[in-house]
Structure 1
Amino acid sequence: MIYSSSVLNPLEISLSHNQFNFFQSRHCVLLGYSRTCMEYGLHILELDVGDEVLLPDFICDVVLSPLNSLGLTPIYYSVNDSLEPRYERIERQISKKTKAILTVNYFGFPQPYDPIRAICKKHGIWHIEDNAQGFLSHKGDQPLGTFGDLSFTSVRKTLPLKNGAYLCLNHPTLIGRFQSSRYMPYWEKEPCKTFYLKRFLRWIDMNTFLPLSKFRKEKSIPKPGSGELEQKPFGMDPIAKWLLFHYDLQSEIKKRRRNYALWLQFFLHSPVQPVFDHLPDGVCPFAFPVYVEDQEKWLNWGWKHGIEIRTWPTLPLWVYHNRPETVERWKRLLLFPLTKSPQNILKRTQ
Structure 2
Amino acid sequence: MSFSDVKPHAVSHDAVPPEPAAFPRSRLPVSPRLSVAALASLRYLGARPVPSILDAGTARFVTSGRVAIALALREMGVGAGDAVLVPSYHCASMIEPVIWAGATPVFYRIRPDTSVDLDDIAAKIDGRTRVLMATNYFGFHQPLAALRTLCDARGIQLLEDCAHSFLGEHQGRPLGSFGDYAIASSMKFFPVYEGGCLVSSRHPLDAVRLQSAGLGFEAKVVLNTVEDGFAYGRLPVLRALLAVPMMAKNALWGRIKATRHGAVQALAPGSSDGGFGFDPAWLTKRSSVFSRALVKIVSRRRMGELRRRNYQRLQTALAGLPGCRPLFNTLPDGVYPWVFPLLCDEPQVLFRGLKQDGVPVIRFGEYLWPGVDATVCATSVDLSRRVLQFPCHQELRKDELDWMIEQVRQHVRRGAPGVSS
Q: Which TM-score band (shorter chain)?
A: 0.7 to 0.9
**2:382 is equivalent to residue 331 of structure 1:** no
CA distance in 2, matches of 1:206, 1:126: 45
Amino acid aligned to 1:263 = L
- Report whether the alignment pairs 1:201 with 2:201: no
- The answer for the alignment partner of 1:103 in structure 2 is 134
* 8 Å Cα contact 1:57-1:79 kept in structure 2: yes
Change in CA separation of 1:287 and 1:330 when aligned onto 2, cut-off 3 Å = same
> How does 1:1-350 map onto structure 2 within 5 Å?
22-23=51-52, 24=55, 26-171=57-202, 174-175=203-204, 178=205, 181-185=206-210, 188-189=213-214, 191=217, 192=220, 195-204=224-233, 227=276, 229-233=278-282, 234-270=285-321, 271-303=323-355, 306-313=358-365, 314-320=367-373, 323=376, 325=378, 326-339=380-393, 340=396, 341=398, 342-346=401-405
Cα distance in 2 for residues equivalent to 1:25 and 1:131: 11
Deviation at 1:312, TM superposition (A): 1.2
Give 1:329 shift: 2.3
Offset of residue 187 of structure 1 = 6.9
Task: Report the Cα offset of residue 107 of structure 1.
Answer: 0.7
Report the CA distance between 1:110 and its aligned residue.
0.8
Question: Residues 275 and 347 of structure 1: is their aligned pair in 2 closer, same or farther, counting only changes over 3 Å?
Answer: closer
CA deviation vs aligned residue, 1:122-147 (integer Å, no higher than 9, x gap) = 21110110001101222243211111
Q: CA RMSD in A?
A: 2.8
TM-score for both structures, normalised by structure 2:
0.67
**Aligned pair in 2 of structure 1 residues 67, 324: CA closer, same or farther (>3 Å)?**
closer
Matched residues in 2 for 1:236 and 1:195: separation?
14
Q: Which has the higher contact order (CA 8 A, sep 6+)?
A: 2
- C-alpha contact 1:27 1:168 (8 A) present in aligned 2: yes
Give the drift of 1:112: 0.9
**TM-score normalised to the size of structure 1?**
0.80
User: Do the aligned residues in 1 keep the contact of 2:87 with 2:109 (CA within 8 Å)?
Assistant: yes
Shift of 1:249: 2.0
1:183 CA drift (Å)? 4.2
Matches of 2:212 and 2:298 in 1, distance apart? 25
Q: Contact 2:212 / 2:288 at 8 angstroms: preserved in 1? A: no
Task: Supply the distance in 1 between the matched residues of 2:70 and 2:387 (Cα, whole angstroms).
Answer: 28
* Structure 2 Cα separation of the partners of residues 202 and 153 of structure 1: 26
Aligned length: 310
Quick check: which has more Rg, 1 or 2?
2
Asked whether the equivalents of residues 305 and 345 of structure 1 are also in contact (C-alpha less than 8 Å), the reply is no
CA contact (8 A) 1:228 1:316 kept: no
Cα distance in structure 1, aligned partners of 2:235 and 2:89:
29
The offset of 1:162, in angstroms, is: 1.1
Name the CA distance, whole Å, in 1 between partners of 2:93 and 2:404. 33
Offset of residue 19 of structure 1: 10
115 and 53 in structure 1: CA distance in 2 versus 1, 3 angstrom threshold: same
Q: For 1:335 and 1:73, locate their aligned partners in 2 and report how far apart those are by CA, in whole Å.
A: 30
Runs of 4+ in 1 over 6 A off after TM superposition: none
Q: Which moved more, 1:186-195 or 1:239-248?
A: 186-195
Cα displacement (A) at 1:48: 3.2
103-112 vs 117-126, greater mean Cα deviation: 117-126
**Cα distance in 2, alignment partners of residues 53 and 331 from structure 1:** 25
Q: Residues 87, 206 of structure 1: CA spacing in aligned structure 2 closer, same or farther, 3 A cutoff?
A: farther
Distance 1:227 1:306 in 2: 23
List alignment gaps of at least 5 residues for structure 2.
Answer: 1-45, 237-274, 411-421
Give the CA deviation at 1:119.
Answer: 1.5
Aligned equivalents of 2:89 and 2:212: distance in 1?
29
Identity over aligned residues, as a percent? 22
* Unmatched runs of 5 consecutive residues or more in structure 1: 1-16, 208-225
Aligned equivalents of 1:304 and 1:185: distance in 2?
A: 42
CA change 1:251–1:103 in 2 (3 A) is same
More helix by share: 2
Contact 1:135–1:154 at 8 Å: present in 2 too?
A: yes
State the AA in 2 paired with 1:346: I
CA gap of 1:297–1:89, structure 2 versus 1, over 3 A, is same
Deviation at 1:227, TM superposition (A): 3.7
